[in-house]
Chains A and B, each alone.
Chain A
Amino acid sequence: MSARPQAHLTLGPLLFHWPAQKRRDFYLRIADESPVDTVYLGEVVCSKRESTFEPLRDAVVARLRAAGKEVVLSTLALVTTAREVEQIGELVATGLTVEANDVAGVQILAGRPFVVGPYINVFNEGARDFLVGRGAIRIVLPVEMPATSIRAVAAHGGQTGIEVQAFGRQPLSVAMRCYHARAHNRTKDHCQLVCGLDADGLTAETIDGVDILTINGTQTLTHGHGVLLAELDSLSVAGVTHFRLSPHDLDMVRVAGLYREVLDGRREPGAALEALRSLTGAVPFVNGFLHGREGLAWVEPS
């Protein structure tokens, strides 16, 4: 195992709907205690949630930057209304780097450096090269990509960073329909932000009792946590520069510490996996997409 201190650790945007206060406290602890280099802030899933955190955002950004973190603002993944388009413009106007999760963001960010989020399909070098030509400084690859494809996109990427999600439930789809509201027999217009009841999402089981998916408002995610620890070294060698931890309602400072130790060669992946399991409870791990398998599979490190 070799030390690769140049690999960056990022904290992806919080996908779930937490109360504003809880969110603020979470980020202040991230600022003060976690070894992440970059923090993505912003509402990716549903614009109805957006207003609750906005008044606290500036203070959180200031604290994160004071702690030496790069701050990136993330856009919605599915943009349909004029108001949602305006909100992208407002993110751009802050002067901070923006992560575009819809092609609308790429259009609005024309001429500025930006991050391509995982909800924009960059599955190959053709798409990569086009977006680099538009100013992409980093590309977060879709969670579905197998290692063989990641290698091909990360090779010859030049100065462009390549980011891969390494921890947390993996996003599988976005929709206009709100499944949280449907599960509670409500309409989307009268949802009363019922998604806020589930800090890590709502489990959907199969009719024969297998936990299979996680519902998060209009988003659907894997039930298991996507976990890449044994794979970090080979992905770094392949040219992946940033590894993303997706926030969940557990000790993310400790999670970040474990990943940093593995990236720095100070802890064996096997030992880190064991330590991680003590933090994630009964939720299984998945890594099938990376290994070219069904996404819900878990391939044991060899």
Chain B
Amino acid sequence: MSARYLELVCPAGTPAALRAAVDAGADTVYCGFRDCTNARNYPGLNFDFDELREGVGYAHDRDCKVLVAINTFPRAGDLGPWHRAVDQAAAAGADAVILADLGVLDYTTRRHPGLRRHLSVQASAANAPSIAFYRDHFDVRRVVLPRVLSVREVAALVEETGIETEVFAFGSVGPMSEGRCFLSSYLTGLSPTSEGACAPASHVAYLDRDGQVLSRLGATTLNSFARGEPAAYPTPCKGRYVTLGRSSYLFEEPAGLNAIAMLPELKAAGVTALKIEGRQRSRAYVAQVVASFREALDALARGDAAPVAALRGETEGGRETFGAYQKGWR
């Protein structure tokens, strides 16, 4: 294979998805422990220590790196699970941990100075002094950039900080500054920041009302659909609200990010790695998305044009967006 164009960082919500991502051509996979320490704490997902150790072995045997996301904010008085997660990631041979909380970063820097640290998108570091802060105090080697930045802003940050950056290329996008959104806990009482689950399934309901299906989160109606029409999952920032007498997708239309057509621009911006979102998605989904990006990146590395059409239909609601990368999104 020719020189790497951009590092492809892929979701591994389960051991099976990890193997699927590795086999489909991931350069790196990321995963989390089966508890509140990671931001995709959904039933049926994630790894225990033995599964992680086996996953690391499988990936390393195939030249693939493993990152462990420990990227929620510990509840006060209960730091144990987060510290244990860092210790276990180190013991399992992870190549890096992805962290957000200042206390967890501090703990990791002191206890595991040799364990590479990445800054999670949940830390919402969207400017040069913030990135410098995490680099100076915790020797953070890579920053996962917030999904609120344009390509031009990404390029300016890379230039100014000189740090490795990882940007989202495919999957679900939210419009809010990450790690600082309390909409879901406002409606459910469960905190995405501390418990790792936005719009938890335990609080989701679909109600039949006069031929309409209402989707609800907690006691709050977030959308309605004609019976038989596919009903989108009720995430607070993807719901419909009424302002000034008009109903609209006030925050964000239901669409998935797909930046596969923007890879040359992201490369030119100095980005190091591309992140595929979706630890909550199926193994088949992961395999297809990873394979499509692998094909595109290999084509670009050879100097060919990238095939971009393969992923239509895999995005959320079948609709695509360039998100904040695109001019006018704001």
Instruction: Report which A residues bind B (CB closer than 8 A).
Output: 77-82, 84-85, 88, 102-108, 119, 121-131, 142-145, 148-153, 170-179, 182-184, 187-189, 202-210, 212-213, 215, 220, 222, 288-289, 292-297
Contact = CB atoms under 8 A, between A and B. Distances in A.
B176 A175 contact: yes
A187 B130 contact: no
Contact of A176 (B100, B132, B148): B148
Contacts of B125: 103
Contact of B103 (A130, A145, A289, A296): A130
Interface of B: 73-79, 100-107, 123-130, 132-134, 136-137, 148-149, 153, 156, 175-177, 179-183, 185-189, 191, 193-194, 214, 218, 220-224, 237, 239-244, 246-248, 250-252, 324, 328-330
Nearest to A293: B189
Contacts of A170: 182
A151 B76 CA distance: 8
**Top 8 closest pairs, chain A to chain B, by CB:** A126-B103, A152-B76, A152-B77, A295-B186, A107-B133, A149-B76, A104-B129, A294-B189
A182 B130 CA distance: 29
Contacts of B194: 123
Contacts of B180: 77, 119, 121, 173-174
B65 to A, nearest CB: 27
Contacts of A121: 73, 100-102, 179-180, 193
Contacts of A127: 73, 101-103
Contacts of B186: 172, 222, 288-289, 294-296
B175 to A, nearest CB: 5
Contacts of B181: 172-173
A297 B189 CA distance: 9
Contact of A188 (B73, B193, B252, B330): B330
Name the residue in B102, B175, B186, B224 with the highest tally of chain A Cβ atoms < 10 Å from its Cβ: B186
Contacts of A104: 127-130, 133
Contacts of B102: 121-122, 126-127, 130-131
A180 B127 CA distance: 24
Contacts of B75: 123-124, 149
A176 B175 CA distance: 7
B134 to A, nearest CB: 8
Name the residue in B101, B148, B149, B189 with the highest tally of chain A Cβ atoms < 10 Å from its Cβ: B189
A183 to B, nearest CB: 4
B104 A126 contact: yes
A189 B191 contact: no
11 contacts: A104-B130, A107-B130, A123-B73, A124-B76, A125-B103, A144-B193, A175-B251, A183-B246, A187-B330, A202-B243, A289-B186
Given A130-B102, A175-B175, 20 more contacts: A77-B177, A79-B129, A107-B130, A121-B102, A123-B74, A126-B102, A127-B102, A129-B103, A148-B77, A150-B76, A151-B77, A153-B76, A173-B176, A176-B177, A188-B330, A205-B242, A207-B223, A207-B247, A213-B183, A292-B189
Given A78-B126, A184-B244, A177 B76 contact: no
A107 B129 contact: yes
A149 B127 contact: no
A177 B252 CA distance: 9
A287 to B, nearest CB: 12
B148 to A, nearest CB: 4
Given A124-B75, A124-B76, A204 B129 contact: no
Contact of A208 (B105, B183, B221, B329): B221
B242 to A, nearest CB: 4
A207 B104 contact: no
B183 A173 contact: yes
Contact of A204 (B76, B188, B243): B243
A149 B175 CA distance: 28
A5 B214 CA distance: 50
A289 B184 CA distance: 12
Contact of A206 (B78, B185, B221): B221
Contacts of A129: 103, 106
Nearest to B241: A204
A225 B101 CA distance: 29
Contact of B148 (A80, A125, A203): A80
Contacts of A213: 183, 241
A183 B244 contact: yes
A126 B79 contact: yes
B103 A143 contact: no
A288 B182 CA distance: 12
B330 A189 contact: yes
A206 B126 contact: no
B304 to A, nearest CB: 34
A17 to B, nearest CB: 16
A125 B222 CA distance: 35
A179 B250 contact: yes
A102 B187 contact: no
B327 to A, nearest CB: 10
B176 A174 contact: yes
A246 to B, nearest CB: 15
Contacts of A189: 330
B122 to A, nearest CB: 8
A78 B241 contact: no
B320 to A, nearest CB: 18
B185 A295 contact: yes
Contacts of A188: 330
